[in-house]
Amino acid sequence: MTTTRRTPRFRIRRMQEADLLPMAGLLQRLPPADRWPLRHMAAELHRPLGWAWVLDVWEAGRWRLAGYLILWEQGELLHIANIAVDPAHQGQGHGRRLMRVAKAVARRRGMKGLSLEVRVSNLRALRWYLRLGFQIRRRIRNLYQTPQGWEDGLYMVLEHV
């Protein structure tokens, strides 16, 4: 028996003002602890040395916003300030595709690698970053204020993009 896995049709592009409305819906579908306020997302449209990307999937005859990637230039490293994929579209490789964009931006700007922070209890994301080659550099106490209280973060780096 053969199984075929359909590759979803997708595109990755820079975020625009018009994406903020569907972005509000996407943010609502993420777990509260991983949810940025919409005004933070809106500010990313104008950040110097920052780049906001979105991923659309083709669904029911139109493009739908299904993921995003927020990048900040921080010294020699490109910092992944936020990355998320709509829960309905996770596990289809979109996270990896967004990560490839981050690497391409870092390479294009001659940067040494990628960095990010993750909540210690976000085990799925943590394992995923480790599989992608990120290494834990340090633990940062009380980095996040979540609906459950303050939580530590892990600072991770991927060298050699």
- Give the binding site for ligand COA (CB under 6 A): 30, 34, 83-85, 90-96, 118, 122, 124-125, 128, 131
Give the sign of the dihedral formed by CA 128, CA 156, CA 52, CA 149. positive
Give the separation between CA 117 and CA 119, rounded to whole angstroms.
Answer: 7
CB of 30 to ligand COA, least distance (A): 6
Residue 52: CB minimum distance to ligand COA, A: 15
Q: Which is nearer to ligand COA, 5 or 124 (CB)?
A: 124
Q: Which is nearer to ligand COA, 10 or 106 (CB)?
A: 10
Q: Which residues contact 88 (CB under 8 A, 6 or more apart)?
A: 29, 66
Nearer of residues 68 and 106 to ligand COA, judged by Cβ: 68
77-85 and 113-119 beta bridge pairing: parallel
Q: State the nearest-atom distance from the C-beta of 117 to ligand COA, in Å.
A: 7
Rounded Cα distance between 131 and 156, Å, is 12
- For residue 1, the minimal CB distance to ligand COA (Å) is 21
Q: Which tokens in the block code for residue 3? A: 């199984």
Q: What is the nearest approach in angstroms of ligand COA to the Cβ of residue 90?
A: 3
Q: Give whichever of 38 and 125 is closer to ligand COA, judged by the CB atom.
A: 125
For residue 112, what is the DSSP state?
A: -
Question: Residue 6 or 110: which CB sits closer to ligand COA?
Answer: 6
Which tokens hold the place of 62? 């139109």
Burial class (CB in 10 A: 0-12, 13-18, 19+), 133: middle
